[in-house]
Structure 1
Amino acid sequence: MSLYDIIEDSHIVYGLITNSLLLFAILRFTRKSLGAYKHLQLIFAAYDLFLVTLHAVLKPRVMVVETTIFGVAADWDNRYITAFYCSCNTVPFVLMIIDFLYRYWSIAKPHQLGLFHNGKFIMMLNIIPLIEYIIWFVVCTEVLTGKGDEIGKTLLQQESGRRLAKPMMEGWLVMNYWENGELNVPILCALMVFNVIMFGCFAIAVCLGSMTYYHIYVLGSTANISAHALHMQRKLFVSVCVQTAIPLVFVYIPYIAVLNLPVLNFPVYFWDDACMLLTSCFPAWDGFIVIVLMPDYWKGLVGIIKRKPKENTSAPTYSTR
C-alpha cells in the first residue's frame, strides 16, 4: 500500500468518525439559543459525512499530462459518476455562503432569522446549491471531452497506468486546452464557468464575512446586545471563518490550481496528485474543527467518555423468609 493510499484511507475513516461524533454532539449538546443554526450545522455535518462516503466508494484521481491536458476519473468506467463526484464536492461552496448569511443576519438583522423557519425561503436555499450542482454537472458531461477516442484521453490512460500500475481506461473528464497548438474554446468556456462559480461563491462569502466582522468587532460595543450574546457571536464567527479556511485549503486552492495552470501551460508540479487527496481530507478536518471550536460539543463528548457508572450506595436488603 502506497503512502497516498494510507493517507487517503486514514482520512476516510477519520472523517466518518469525526462527522458521526459531530452529528451526535449537535443533536445532544446544542443550546436552544442557537435556534435554526442547529439545523444548518446538522445539514453541513451530514453533507460532510456523505462526501466522505462518496470518496470512499469512488476514489477518483486527477492527472495532468504534457502540462496542458487535465483529466479526472473514478475507477468506475463511467463519466457521469465522475461528474457526480466532482459536482457534489462543489456544493460546499454555496453552503459556505448560507453559513455566513446566517451569522450576518444574527448580528446585524436578527429579525430576518425568522426566514430560516419559512418554507419558501428554505426551499430557495435548497434550490440554489442544486442549481450550482446542475450547472457543474452539465458542463462536465456535455462540454468536457472523454467520451470517445482522443489523444488527451489516451495520454491520460497511459499516465494512469504509469502512476497506478493499473490504467483507468474509461470514466475520464478531459480538458485538453491546446489541441494542435490552438486554444480549445469550448474547454476554455467550461473553465470560465468553473471559475465564476468558485470565485463568485468565495467573493460573496468574504463580503458577508467582512460585514459580520464589522458588526461584531466594530459596532459590537455600541450595539444593543448583551456581553454574553456578543461573546457567543464572536465564537461562532471564528468557527465559521475556520470552517471556510478548511475548504479553501483542501478544495478551492487544489481545484483552482489543476484547472487553471494547464491553460496557461504552467507545470502543476504536485497539485494533480494532491488534489483528490486533499479533497478526501476536507470533511474529516471540517468535522474536527467544529467540535474543537464549540466547547459545548467537545465538553459534552469528553463528559460521556469520562462518565462513570454510579455505584449503588443503598444498604443491602435481606430476605426474612
Structure 2
Amino acid sequence: AVTGLVLNALLLYAIARFSGAHLGTYKQLLTIFTVSNLFLVILHELVHPRAILIGTTHGGTTDTVFDDRRITALNAAFQSIPFTLLGIHFLYRYWSVRKPHLIVLFSSKKFVLFLVSIGAGQLLSWYLGSMYGTSGATDSVAKTALIAEYEKKYGKRIENAWCVLDHWRDNKLDMRLLAMVASMNVMMISALAIAATLAMLTFKHLNLTSQISTKASQLQRKLLIALCAQASVPSLFVYTPYLLVMNIPFFRIPITVIHDISVPLSTCFPGWDAAVIILLISNYRKGLMRMI
C-alpha cells in the first residue's frame, strides 16, 4: 500500500510539473487515472478484500468493522473504474491520430458528462450484479462453510460481508448466478476488446497516414505504446484473476491458488501502473530523476 501511494503521488506530481504542451487534454486524463489509482490503494487498505474457494463455492468478502456485504459489492464495483478510463484513453489516442478535430469534445462539459455516465453505469452494473446476482444476504450451507474456512485461514470471523457464488449447490447449476457471471464476463471482455480494437486501429493509421509529421507520428506512437503497457497491468492483475475466480468453479476445478493470489494481485496493480507510466513517458522519468 505504501509503495502504491508513493508511486502514484510521484506520478501525480510529475503530471502537474513535467507535462509538456504536446500532451494537451491528455494530461487531465492521466491525472484522473492516477487519482483513481490512489483511491483504489486507499480502498484496498481500508476494506481488506479476500477471496476464498471451497469446492465449487466462491466467496468474496471484506474485513471491516461494518461487516456489510454492500461494502464487498462496492469494492468489486470500483475495480471496473480503471477499464472505463482506459477505454476513454484509447479513444483519445485514436481520435488524436484519425480524427483530431474531435479532440475538442474532451473539453465539452456535455461530452465529459456523457463519459462520466458511462463510468457510473458500469460501476452501478457491477454493484447490482455483486449484490443481487450472488447470495450471502441470508444464511446458507455455502455461507456457513465460507465463514468457517475464513476463520480457520485468517483467524477472524466475518459473518455478513459475503458475496457468495455457490455454483453447484446439491449438484444443480444456479442459473441466476450463471446469468450474472455471463453478464460480468461480457462487460469485462467487451472493455478489453474495445481497448484492443482502438489500439490496433491507431497503430494502423499511424503506419498509413501522411497527414502528420514524422516527429508527431513518433510522439503518438510512444504515447500509444505507453498506454498499451499501462493497459496490460490491470488486464493481468485485475481482470484476468477476476475472470478466473468467477468462472473456474463452473468447471468444478478445485484450484484454490487463483483465489489466494487474486486479491494480492489487484492490490499491487495501482503501484505497478504508476511505475509503468513513469518509466515510459520520458518527461516524467527525466523530471523525477533530476530531483534525486
Q: Confirm whether residue 233 of structure 1 aligns to residue 220 of structure 2.
A: yes
Q: Tell me, in whole angstroms, the C-alpha distance in 2 between the residues paired with 1:193 and 1:283.
A: 25
Greater gyration radius: 1
Partner amino acid, structure 2, of 1:65: I
The alignment partner of 2:3 has SS state of helix
Match of 1:294 among 263, 281, 290: 281
Q: Confirm whether residue 282 of structure 1 aligns to residue 278 of structure 2.
A: no
| CA-based RMSD | 1.0
Q: Confirm whether residue 147 of structure 1 aligns to residue 145 of structure 2.
A: no
The Cα of 1:165 is off from its aligned counterpart by: 2.0
> What's the counterpart of residue 112 of structure 1?
102
Under a length normalisation based on structure 2, what TM-score does the superposition of the two structures give?
Answer: 0.97
The alignment partner of 2:138 has SS state of coil
The Cα of 1:96 is off from its aligned counterpart by: 1.3
Partner amino acid, structure 1, of 2:50: R
Contact 1:18–1:287 (CA<8 Å) still a contact in 2? yes
The alignment partner of 1:61 has SS state of strand
Match of 1:54 among 40, 43, 47: 43
> What's the counterpart of residue 69 of structure 1?
57
Q: Confirm whether residue 304 of structure 1 aligns to residue 291 of structure 2.
A: yes
Q: Tell me, in whole angstroms, the C-alpha distance in 2 between the residues paired with 1:302 and 1:202.
A: 33
Q: Tell me, in whole angstroms, the C-alpha distance in 2 between the residues paired with 1:109 and 1:270.
A: 45
Q: Confirm whether residue 260 of structure 1 aligns to residue 244 of structure 2.
A: no
Under a length normalisation based on structure 1, what TM-score does the superposition of the two structures give?
Answer: 0.89
The alignment partner of 1:62 has SS state of strand
Partner amino acid, structure 2, of 1:81: I
Q: Tell me, in whole angstroms, the C-alpha distance in 1 between the residues paired with 2:142 and 2:81.
A: 28
Q: Tell me, in whole angstroms, the C-alpha distance in 2 between the residues paired with 1:51 and 1:72.
A: 17
Q: Confirm whether residue 94 of structure 1 aligns to residue 81 of structure 2.
A: no
**Which runs of 5 or more structure 2 residues have no equivalent in the other structure?**
none
1:264-319 deviation line (CA, Å, top 9, x unaligned): 111234100101100000000000110000110011111122xxxxxxxxxxxxxx
Q: Tell me, in whole angstroms, the C-alpha distance in 2 between the residues paired with 1:179 and 1:302.
A: 56
1:216-262 deviation line (CA, Å, top 9, x unaligned): 2x214xx1211211111111010010011101110011001100000
**Percent of aligned pairs with the same residue?**
38
Contact 2:90–2:199 (CA<8 Å) still a contact in 1? yes
Contact 1:104–1:211 (CA<8 Å) still a contact in 2? yes
1:61-119 deviation line (CA, Å, top 9, x unaligned): 001111x1111000121000111111001121211111110110111111110110111
Contact 1:49–1:283 (CA<8 Å) still a contact in 2? yes
Contact 2:36–2:81 (CA<8 Å) still a contact in 1? no
1:179-205 deviation line (CA, Å, top 9, x unaligned): 211111111111011101101111111
**Which runs of 5 or more structure 1 residues have no equivalent in the other structure?**
1-11, 306-321
Contact 1:83–1:141 (CA<8 Å) still a contact in 2? yes
Greater percentage in helix? 2
> What's the counterpart of residue 318 of structure 1?
none
Q: Tell me, in whole angstroms, the C-alpha distance in 2 between the residues paired with 1:173 and 1:268.
A: 19
